[in-house]
Amino acid sequence: MASLGGSSSSSTEYIVRVPKNTSKKYSIMAFNSGDKVNCSSWTQARMERDMSNRRMYGVEETEEGAAGSEFGKKQREEARRKKFGIVTREFKVEDQPWILKVNGKAGKRFKGTKKGGITENASYYIFTQCPDGAFEAFPVNGWYNFVPQAKHRTLTAEEAEEEWGRRNKVVNHFSIMLQRRLREQERGPDDDDEEGEKGGKKKKKKGGRGGDLRIHDLEDDLELSSDESDSSGGEDGDSKPKKKEGDVKGKGKKKKKKRGSDSEANEDSDDGDFEGLEVDYMSDESSSEEEVGEEKAKSNKEAVPKGIDEASESEEESEEEKQNEEEGKEEEEEEEGKKTPVQTKKKRDSSGESDTSEDSDIDGEAASALFMKKRTPPKRGGGRGSGGSSRTGSRPGTPSIDSTSTSNTLRAAASKLEQGKRQVVGGSSESPAAKRLKMESSSTAVTTQSPAPSGKSTPQPPSGKSTPSSSDVQLTEEAVRRYLIRKPMTTKDLLKKFQTKRTGLSSEQTVNVLAQILKRLNPERKNVNDKMHFYLTE
Amino acid sequence: MSEKGEVDLTGAKQNTGVWLVKVPKYLSQQWAKASGRGEVGKLRIGKNQGKAEVEFTLNEDLTMIDSLGNKPSGVQAPRDHPFTMQTVGGQTLAVFTETQSERISLEGLVVQRAECRPAVSENYMKLKRLQIEELSKPVRLSQQLEKAVTTNYKPVANHSYNLEYDRKKKEEGKRARVDKQQVLDMLFSAFEKHQYYNIKDLVDITKQPVSYLKEILRDIGIYNVKGTHKNTWELKPEYRHYQGGEEEEKETDD
């Protein structure tokens, strides 16, 4: 190769070839610098054209075949379009975007859109060096800009506007996406993957506030169905974190989702309901509860309520209160990576097993609800630690903050749960619960808390909790009897009567006590509007 | 095992580095004219006092520029083209190829970007002038005609198309009524194919006079006045038997 003279300059010459008739078409795959894409780290990749725009250009296919079709419809449609001068652009496959999936299903996804106009004024060539030292130049056929596709849930424009309006009230943004997911679950159960991933991420992101710490005018509310996000914030601020953790264990999200969606719908009406009006039927809420309860009671993944069932009814009752919790749990589950639905099922089942009568169902429900509540706080800490998803970056501060702030509440909530649980649930349900509790407890940072609940293996005598401390309204057997004699009521209605504000009990306690009272009273049941009502004839 | 969609990552794994070079249009046109193995020129890479200098020299035989219409113009393409080197920046540019059999493979990553610029010379100026001249020609041209165009539309007593139409009508004659049963058979088979029919289409299919056909249709079908299938006839529900549809098909016994 020629070398020129000159002290500090030297050069080498290479031959440049432009191969003809190459069967390969070269294209550029451009990534944004901020995405930090390292191609050499890819183990495997799949790329295909994104054909989702085909129907835009093709004719919208209405039903073929006999039913619903018209004779000559196609021709008529085409003639009509021509008359109006509608010109649909041809669907060209080479212009369609690429979908690139790296490292399999769990890896990244990119969408590459073609950049126009690169071959208009100048041509791009790729120069590669051949083994013989010559350069070969290949013309670039297309330039595609690849952007990573978000796997986490994002809000649509309408939803974003809604949330914007509530920005002053909502502290925990984690629940926003949760609710959205719950709503979607109802529509179509195929979000599992996303939820799972999202869940994992969310954990890191939100930290454990659990549901929304919503600022409410009316603070307590067992029955606020909208609690998925809100009310739980109030008193259940504690329970929320717990719930979260419980969720992570993997409950049947589907069930929860359904409930969530219902509650979501009921949110607006809750304020009014909450006022403690003597209303005959809180149909909305009850039904939502029922559905919710049913789902929960049944198999894990079935989102379809299984019809009216005692178990489900009782479930709803207690669930109404626990809705927040459970929704929170669902959210957590989904967001945090949905573990086995078995977990939830186990919970439900255990409560189911121990319950033979409706009363015990309620207890079971309450127990499971409590149980779940309890699980969540300890789990939260653990879950967060193990969450470890790419979301870490987005909310660096939250995890640590959450664990510290909720440690006290965790402790308090856990002890309450422990007590409540011990009272109402029989032996069978306790062991799995206790075990789980132990696992969770141990995984959290709340080490002091763990010995206490796990240490409490002997059930406390129910009598300890049977006389509630109350200020205005006593949650007594007498009171319940009076109500039930007067008219048939659902458990939800009953709970409404004994609001935590008035009785001074927490929601969990109220549920427990009410469950016991109902067990003692053994009222008759009747189905009204697909809801189980209790009544007494004296 | 479907190969389609699977990206061959050998280029990425080997971290093959390539250059992305922006080349002027005229140069790529000249390269397209290359013969034989496709040799187009020489690339000289030198290091001059610490800075890399890259220059491309076009082969002599490729310097003939063809103007529009493939006539050789008097212009010659410049031969020397220094490259302006640019960094890739933070951007990651990968090169992938697609074969006709839709196999995608990653060829490598871009390590250097460059722009091929012509060394300014007399030749280049002439070339540019030629290009500008060609571009500045208007796309549309107004031209005056000497004689008016008279070959397109002439008045005709009766268009040939019309004549044909009349003849066809006469030949077909009025539609004759056939047996009601036959008509029903035709109708049922037609309704098996589509659910909704226009009366005109039914007349075409059955070749029956309109009033007779309407009588029969009133028996077995209903007329949709509103809705999406406006002004169409369909079979009565009890005669229908569509997939995913309801009642059993009943045959009319006449």
Ranges A17-26, A266-275, B227-236, most confident:
A17-26
Could you tell me the pLDDT band of residue B70, with boundaries at 50, 70 and 90?
Answer: low
pLDDT at A126 over 80: yes
Average pLDDT estimate for A189-207: 46
pLDDT at A202 over 50: no
- Would you call A127 and B19 a contact, using CB atoms and an 8 Å cutoff? yes
pLDDT digits (tens, 9 = 90+) for A378-417: 444 444 444 444 444 444 444 444 444 445 555 655 566 6
Could you tell me the pLDDT band of residue B195, with boundaries at 50, 70 and 90?
Answer: confident
Cα angle, residue A427 at apex, residues A423 and A432 outer, rounded to 5° = 105
- Would you call B22 and A72 a contact, using CB atoms and an 8 Å cutoff? no
Ranges A173-182, A202-211, A344-353, most confident:
A173-182
Dihedral of the CA atoms B66, B71, B72, B76 (nearest 10)? -30
B108: left (phi over 0), alpha (psi -120 to 50) or beta: left
pLDDT digits (tens, 9 = 90+) for A128-143: 998 888 899 999 999 9
Could you tell me the pLDDT band of residue A121, with boundaries at 50, 70 and 90?
Answer: confident
pLDDT at A50 over 80: yes
CB of A131 within 8 Å of any CB in chain B? no
Measured distance CA(A339)–CA(A346) in Å, rounded = 13
pLDDT at B96 over 60: yes
Q: How many CB atoms lie within 10 A of CB A8?
A: 8
Q: What per-residue confidence (pLDDT) applies to A201?
A: 45
Site of tokens 């990206």: B7
Name the pairing type of β-strands A531-535 and A135-148.
Answer: unpaired
Q: Which of A12, A135, A138 to mutate to test the interface with B (most CBs of B within 10 A)?
A: A135
Q: Give A-chain residues touching B30 at CB under 8 angstroms.
A: none
ipTM reported for the complex, 2 dp = 0.71
CB A411 within 8 A of CB A451: no
Measured distance CA(A296)–CA(A290) in Å, rounded = 10
Could you tell me the pLDDT band of residue A341, with boundaries at 50, 70 and 90?
Answer: very low
CB A534 within 8 A of CB A249: no
pLDDT at A113 over 90: yes
Q: What per-residue confidence (pLDDT) applies to A279?
A: 57
Q: What per-residue confidence (pLDDT) applies to A287?
A: 46
Q: Running DSSP on this structure, what letter comes out for residue A489?
A: B
CB B111 within 8 A of CB B101: no
Q: Write out the two tokens for B58.
A: 């076009």
Please provide residue B184's backbone torsions phi and psi, each rounded to the nearest 5 degrees. Answer: -60, -40
Selected residue with higher pLDDT from B17 and A376: B17
Contacting residues for A440 by C-beta, under 8 A, at least 6 apart: A245, A246, A249, A375, A378, A379, A382
Q: How many CB atoms lie within 10 A of CB A207?
A: 24
Contacting residues for A231 by C-beta, under 8 A, at least 6 apart: A211, A214, A216, A220, A221, A224, A270, A324
Task: Name the residue type at position A444.
Answer: T
pLDDT at A107 over 70: yes
Task: Name the residue type at position A324.
Answer: N
Q: Give A-chain residues touching B46 at CB under 8 angstroms.
A: 4, 9-12
Measured distance CA(A321)–CA(A339) in Å, rounded = 24
Q: Which of A298-302, A505-509, B64-68 has the lowest mean pLDDT?
A: A298-302
CB of A133 within 8 Å of any CB in chain B? no
- Would you call A70 and B194 a contact, using CB atoms and an 8 Å cutoff? yes
Distance between A304 CA and the closest CA of chain B, angstroms? 23
Q: What per-residue confidence (pLDDT) applies to B22?
A: 93
CB A223 within 8 A of CB A270: yes
Q: Is A440 exposed, middle or buried (0-12, 13-18, 19+ CB in 10 A)?
A: buried
Measured distance CA(A35)–CA(B22) in Å, rounded = 25
Q: What per-residue confidence (pLDDT) applies to B113?
A: 92
Question: Long-range contacts of range A61-69, CB-CB < 8 Å, 24 or more positions apart?
Answer: A65/B242, A65/B243, A66/B191, A66/B192, A66/B193, A66/B194, A66/B195, A66/B242, A66/B243, A67/B195, A67/B242, A67/B243, A67/B244, A67/B245, A68/B195, A68/B196, A68/B242, A69/B194, A69/B195, A69/B196
Nearest chain B residue to A9 by CA: give it.
B48
Q: What per-residue confidence (pLDDT) applies to A472?
A: 55
Q: Which of A441-450, B153-162, B165-174 has the lowest mean pLDDT?
A: A441-450
Type and span of the H or E element at B7:
strand B7-8
Nearest chain B residue to A119 by CA: give it.
B25
CB A288 within 8 A of CB A259: yes
Beta strands in A62-121, from DSSP E residues, in sequence order = 98-102, 109-115
Q: Which of A121-125, A277-281, A283-287, A295-299 has the lowest mean pLDDT?
A: A295-299
pLDDT digits (tens, 9 = 90+) for A222-244: 544 444 444 444 444 444 444 44
Q: What per-residue confidence (pLDDT) applies to A260?
A: 43
CB of A21 within 8 Å of any CB in chain B? no
Which residues on neighbouring strands pair with residue A140, listed in sequence order? Answer: A26
Q: What percent of chain A has pLDDT over 70?
A: 42
CB B107 within 8 A of CB B16: yes
